[in-house]
Chain A
Amino acid sequence: MLFNSIDFAIFLPIVFVLYWFVFKKNMKLQNALIVVSSYVFYGWWDYRFLALIMFSTFIDYTVGQQLRKTKHQSKRKSLLWFSVLVNIGLLGFFKYYNFFIDNFTTAFSFLGSEIQANSLNIILPVGISFYTFQTLSYTIDVYKRKLEPTKDILAFAAFVSFFPQLVAGPIERATNLLPQFFKKRQFNYSQAVDGLRQILWGLFKKIVIADNCAFFVNTIFDGYSNYSASTLLLGAMFFAFQIYGDFSGYSDIAIGTSKLFGFNLKQNFAFPYFSRNIGEFWRRWHISLSTWFRDYVYVPLGGSKGSKWNQIRNVFIIFLISGFWHGANWTFIVWGFLNALYFLPLLLLNKNRKYTNVVAEHSFLPSIKETGMMLITFLLTTLGWIFFRSENITHALDYVSRLFNFSMFSIPQVRPTFLIILIGLFLIIEWCGRRQLYAIEILWLKHPKVLRWFIYYVIVMVIFLYGGKEQEFIYFQF
Chain B
Amino acid sequence: MKLFLRQSGAFILLFGISCYVVFSMADGTTDAFYLKFTTSRQTSLIVGSSRAAQGVIPSILEAEGLDYGLYNYGFTIAHTAYGKAYYESIEKKLKKKENHAMFLVCVNPWTISSMTENPEDSLNFREHGSFIKNTHFVNMKPNIEYLIESYDRLNIDIITNKSRKGDYQTFFTHDNGWLEVTIESDMISTKERTLNKIKSYKEKLKKYSGISQNRLRYLKKTIELLKNHGQVFLVRLPVNDDMLYLEDKLMPDFNMKMDTLSQYYQIQYFNAMPFRKQYNYTDGHHLDIASGKAFSKYLAKQLKN
Contact across chains for B11 and A453 when beta carbons are under 8 A apart? yes
Q: CB of B188 within 8 A of chain A?
A: no
Q: Mark A187-204, 1 if CB is under 8 A from B, else 0.
A: 101001100100000000
Assuming A187-B1, A189-B1, A193-B4, is B18 touching A461 (CB within 8 A)? yes
- Beyond A453-B11, A460-B15, whether A465 also contacts B154 by CB under 8 A is yes
- Our count of residue pairs bridging A and B at CB distance below 8 angstroms stands at 38
List B contacts of A469 (CB < 8 A): 152
Q: Are A468 and B15 neighbours in the complex by a CB distance under 8 Å?
A: no
A96 on the B face (CB < 8 A): no
Does residue A20 face the partner (Cβ distance < 8 Å to B)?
A: yes
Query: A192–B4 contact, CB under 8 A?
Result: yes
Interface flag for A323 (CB, 8 Å) = no
Kindly supply a per-residue 1/0 record for chain A positions 100-125, scoring 1 wherever the CB is within 8 Å of any chain B CB and 0 otherwise: 00000000000000000000000000
**Docked CA distance A397–B155 (Å):** 37
Query: Which residues of chain A have C-beta atoms less than 8 A from B15's C-beta?
Result: 457, 460-461, 464
Closest A residue to B15 by beta carbon equals A460
How far, in angstroms, from A464 to B155 measured CA to CA in the complex?
A: 7
Contact of A196 among B1, B8, B155 (CB under 8 A): B8
Q: Does B303 contact A (CB under 8 A)?
A: no
Q: Is A467's CB under 8 angstroms from B155's CB?
A: yes
A469 to B159, CA, bound (A): 17
* Measured CA separation A461–B3 after assembly (Å): 23
CA distance A457 to B22 in the complex (A): 15
- Which residues of chain A have C-beta atoms less than 8 A from B3's C-beta? 189
- Chain B residues near A189 (CB-CB < 8 A): 1, 3-4
- Kindly state whether residue A426 has any CB partner on chain B within 8 Å: no
Smallest beta-carbon distance B125→chain A, Å: 22
129-161 of chain B: CB within 8 A of chain A = 148, 152, 154-156, 159
Partner of B148, one of A6, A20, A465, A468: A6
Query: Please, how many angstroms separate the alpha-carbon atoms of A457 and B18 in the complex?
Result: 10
Which A140-196 residues sit within 8 Å CB-CB of chain B? 187, 189, 192-193, 196
Interface residue A456 (Cβ < 8 Å from any Cβ of B): yes
Contacts of B272 in A (CB 8 A): none
Please determine whether A464 and B22 come into contact, CB atoms closer than 8 angstroms: yes
Chain A, interface residues (CB within 8 Å), range: 10 to 19
| B1-23 to A contact mask, C-beta < 8 Å, 1/0 | 10110001001001100110010
B1 touches A465 (CB 8 A): no
Interface residues of A in 436-478 (CB under 8 A from B): 453, 456-457, 460-461, 464-469
Give the residue among A6, A461, A467 with the most B Cβ atoms within 10 A: A461
Closest Cβ of chain B to A10, distance in Å, is: 12
The digit string for B101-138, where 1 denotes a CB below 8 A from any CB of A, is: 00000000000000000000000000000000000000
User: Which B-chain residue is minimally distant from A456 (CB atoms)?
Assistant: B11
Residues of chain B within 8 A of A6, CB atoms compared: 148
Pairs across A and B, CB under 8 Å, 14 listed: A187-B4, A196-B8, A456-B11, A457-B11, A457-B14, A457-B15, A461-B15, A461-B18, A464-B22, A464-B155, A465-B156, A465-B159, A466-B154, A467-B154
Give 17 new A-B contacts, CB below 8 A, not counting A464-B19, A465-B159, A468-B154.
A6-B148, A187-B1, A189-B1, A189-B3, A189-B4, A196-B8, A457-B11, A457-B15, A457-B18, A460-B11, A461-B15, A461-B18, A464-B15, A464-B155, A465-B22, A466-B156, A467-B154
